[in-house]
Structure 1
Amino acid sequence: MRVTFIMLLISVAFSSKIFSQDSTFHYALGVSAAASSSSVPFWLHANRNGSVPTQKSFALFEARFHRVYNPNNPRFFQWSGGAELIGNAGKKTTAFFSDLFIAGKAGPVELSVGQRSQATGLADTLLTSGSFAMSNNYRPYPKIEISTVRFVSILPLNDIFSFKFSYSDGLFGPADVHYGNVSRISESYFHQKSLYLKLGRNRHRLNLFAGFNHQVMWGGEDKIFSGGLERKQAYNYIVFGKPWASSRVGNHFGTIDVAADWKGDQWGFFLYRQSVYEDGSLSNLSNLADGLNGFRIKRNQTSDMSQTFRINTVLIEFLYTKNQGGNIFDFNSGTFGRDNYFNHYVYNKGWSYRGRSLGTPLIAPQHLVRDDLRSFYTLFTPNNRLYAYHLGLAASYGKTDFTFRGSHSFNFGSYSTEFPGIVRQTSLLFTMNIPLFDKKNDRLTIDLATDFGKLFPNSAALMVGWRKSGFIR
């Protein structure tokens, strides 16, 4: 059925070349191979939508076909869709669709069905360590979503105030549980919504942003708990975050974000902050220190092909997760600390999908850390109290592009399973993207990555690949 859907999507997209100019059809094909000294280094697999494996050497195949909206098309109704097939060969051979969706929009409002790569939150999109709550680290999951494809003006004929929102519900599949009447449920779900506001016109130098995102993993409440809520009842509780039986229904997580964007003559400056909330600690200001902070400097014009080395983007981020509302959790005093980010008292998988963190990959799962640091198998991660510095760079020399990602973290375990001392970890990735045969759409990519420290196994890897991409009009 999935193959039939893909063939139909591709055939319709090609026919649109003849019969319509509503949108643009984009393709990308890639083949790469990696040799690793042990496990795959962190930044070689993190924030890649689950497409890169984490163990040993491998070969990777990617085929991507998308029909995207044409921003210059005046038609009120348009449609888009996409499919991305990933194949891995190595210690474990897998093949799966990362993207597989179809969408349509009326003006700025879009309805999408299927799975697609997305990140949530005010942050840099290219070099970031990953948004705190929802990053690009996990494989996309199937969902139905209504959203705006861009910021929409609140006032008629004036874009001084604008908003952007999303609301979706998706499927997460079976889930193991370690609390309640059963040890496994046949189906779990994922609810997500976000709302962001912008102050400032598009032509203004300064734009200010503020908003929030709210996500809930839920399902099986009527089976896990005696007298538990039926699915329709539970949905009402998870959407509004209503308490039930002295707790929340499902696993809630989200961030409140603020940002400022300044457009200079030659450089743009973007400053942002994501503050996490989970069980009420933020409303009490008890975990105010926890969050992601970022500052990006980006060159406005990056298309200069002169034979000079140019730095185009510099990003600095600081992630802090040590506080978590403090070390006290007490119903009698109303003190609810020990937020235990990315773990959950019911669901074994915590804040993850298919074994990968939904949020920042710097809070890593059990199977990635060293054996002596692992904790109870019912916990997703043994390490959620940390602080980390992250540097991202993008540069160019003629038609060759360079990127660098580097992070250095100080890890403390969790409140329930503290590490015996501070565990330091450094992870680095350097990428070269070189044109082949003087053609823009054929590129050679070279990735050099390494991990050294005490959190992950020490490793180094080289990945070489070919990628071809372009538009079919």
Structure 2
Amino acid sequence: MNLTLFFSIFFEVHAQNYAIELNSNISSKETLPFFLTSNKFGAIPNSDNIILNTAIFSDFKNNNNTFNIAYKASISGFIADKNEVLINELYTSIATKNLQLDLGSKNEEILFEGLSVSNGNIINSINTRAFPGINLKTRSYLTLPIAKNWLKVKANYAEYFLNDKRAVENAHLHYKSLYLKSKLSTKLNLITGLDHYVVWGGTSEEFGKQPTGFNNYLKYITGQGDGINTDESINSSNAWGNHVGNYLIQLDYAGEKTNWSFYVSHPFEDRSGREFSNYPDALYGFFIDLKKPKSFITHFITEFQYTKHQGKNTSENGLIDNYFNNTVYSSGWTYFGRTIGSPFFTTKTPINGITYGIAENRFTSINVGFKGYLSETIQYKTNVTYTKYPGWFNTPLNKSLFSPYLEVFISNSSIPFEITVGTTGDFGDFLPTNFGGFLKLTKTGIF
């Protein structure tokens, strides 16, 4: 088979989908309101802007195939305080019946109809760009041979590059997860899971080159430390690298009239967190699908986030967790200047283009959201969020942020494109009072 025939067959089987999106964001201040930039995959600059996004993609065609390919290339160019072109997603996914290999930068799947302000996970939201790298995972939950129908498992193993400007250049990011789904009844499932991330390697501007090599890599991914400070790495006195983890407990109910999920996402960075000594710090959420298509309210969510404990009074050697910050990897749990976890962990002001970690990581936050239809062709989504920042233990802050958000989506066969319009604002004393909105026009199709 020659190459011309091969590509003809490939593109015939994998029809090209395209999306063209014109987006404009505007506000009453020099910067945009909180929710115009948060949870947007790091793709919205923090000033008035006009953005053109183009994407070409193809999804998996037949999940029953033994071999399947999907891909996407999405690029944005924007006019703002600083004009820029950035790659949103660029990946190829190769799948068999049970396994999938993602190569490149691929955004996280949006959960809970986009109503969760942290995408159901306190340490990994949709607040930043996708990491470039390689990720091997199960395509869904797989039944264990010894468990028949009552226990299923899914897992992943990934290695990424942190290619932004940061305190430790050329750092790597390791990620693995293990989730179990237990069938409690015909309608009720229990999901228990573990996410584990490690920032490792690279060259620190202060501490020099960090260890690499296979033996050191094993220490990073298993959280080992030898208890001895050496010139080679300050990390040797503790677990090597910057560890960030999450326990997830979730109950899923599938009924005749409603589906609902109750979930708890608990963060940990060291032994005290792994042993729940930082309880009650976590994201607590309840999501319900009313199973009423085209009704005024189709979905509802309520969430509560609490991070004030931080292992105080129970931590070893009197140390407090200080979430998402690290001595050696001082850019912390950030990527391209944005928090990787819940967006309410606010980042420090960059110095020479480098973000040095998290400024405010103690807060309580309440989110309530709805989604539904105003008419046959008009959908809406709204969230109301209140966040309180008490400050650090010895430096009180006591400031708050109230952020309402409304988005309306219009799709009509008589209009050649889809229209999305939204408005939001910041109120309280944590951020300056600010009003803003956006208009987005989207055209999708196949060629």
Q: TM-score normalised to the size of structure 1?
A: 0.83
Map of 1:214 onto structure 2: 196
Correspondences of 1:225-244 after superposition (within 5 Å): 229-244=211-226
Task: Give CA-to-partner distance per residue, 1:405-435, whole Å, 9 cap, x none.
Answer: 221011022346x23x411111121000012
CA gap of 1:328–1:271, structure 2 versus 1, over 3 A, is closer
What SS does the corresponding residue of 2:131 show, helix, strand or coil?
A: coil
What SS does the corresponding residue of 2:87 show, helix, strand or coil?
A: strand
Post-superposition offset of 1:438: 3.1
Map of 1:52 onto structure 2: 44
Aligned partners of 1:28 and 1:64 also within 8 Å: yes
CA gap of 1:125–1:344, structure 2 versus 1, over 3 A, is farther
Map of 2:60 onto structure 1: 69
Aligned partners of 2:180 and 2:192 also within 8 Å: yes
What SS does the corresponding residue of 2:88 show, helix, strand or coil?
A: strand
Supply the distance in 2 between the matched residues of 1:151 and 1:141 (Cα, whole angstroms): 24
What SS does the corresponding residue of 2:419 show, helix, strand or coil?
A: strand
Post-superposition offset of 1:222: 9.3
The letter of the residue matching 2:358 is: T
Supply the distance in 2 between the matched residues of 1:453 and 1:119 (Cα, whole angstroms): 32
Map of 1:469 onto structure 2: 444
What SS does the corresponding residue of 1:243 show, helix, strand or coil?
A: coil
111-120 vs 343-352, which moves further: 111-120
Map of 1:342 onto structure 2: 324
Supply the distance in 2 between the matched residues of 1:94 and 1:68 (Cα, whole angstroms): 28
Post-superposition offset of 1:186: 3.7
Supply the distance in 2 between the matched residues of 1:110 and 1:226 (Cα, whole angstroms): 37
CA gap of 1:228–1:138, structure 2 versus 1, over 3 A, is closer
Aligned partners of 2:125 and 2:342 also within 8 Å: yes
Supply the distance in 2 between the matched residues of 1:433 and 1:222 (Cα, whole angstroms): 46
The letter of the residue matching 1:363 is: F
Supply the distance in 1 between the matched residues of 2:210 and 2:75 (Cα, whole angstroms): 40
Alignment partner of 1:190 is 2:167: no
What SS does the corresponding residue of 2:379 show, helix, strand or coil?
A: strand
What SS does the corresponding residue of 1:282 show, helix, strand or coil?
A: helix
Correspondent of 1:424 among 400, 417, 425: 400
Map of 2:73 onto structure 1: 83
Aligned partners of 1:221 and 1:234 also within 8 Å: no
Correspondent of 1:313 among 299, 304, 313: 299
The letter of the residue matching 2:85 is: A
Q: TM-score normalised to the size of structure 2?
A: 0.88
CA gap of 1:156–1:233, structure 2 versus 1, over 3 A, is closer
Map of 1:371 onto structure 2: none
The letter of the residue matching 1:133 is: I
Map of 1:365 onto structure 2: 347
Post-superposition offset of 1:35: 1.8
Alignment partner of 1:118 is 2:108: yes
Map of 1:205 onto structure 2: 187
Report percent identity of matched pairs. Answer: 24
Supply the distance in 2 between the matched residues of 1:75 and 1:226 (Cα, whole angstroms): 49
Aligned partners of 1:292 and 1:318 also within 8 Å: yes
Q: Which structure carries more strand by proportion?
A: 1
Post-superposition offset of 1:188: 0.7
Supply the distance in 2 between the matched residues of 1:426 and 1:187 (Cα, whole angstroms): 38
What SS does the corresponding residue of 2:214 show, helix, strand or coil?
A: helix
Map of 2:257 onto structure 1: 266
Task: Give CA-to-partner distance per residue, 1:102-154, whole Å, 9 cap, x none.
Answer: 1211211011210010169xx63511111211111101121111001211121
Supply the distance in 2 between the matched residues of 1:108 and 1:63 (Cα, whole angstroms): 31
Moved over 6 A (4+): 221-224
Map of 1:181 onto structure 2: none
- Aligned-pair RMSD on alpha carbons? 2.8
Map of 1:384 onto structure 2: 361
Q: Return 5+ residue gaps in structure 1 as ranges.
A: 1-7, 178-184, 369-373
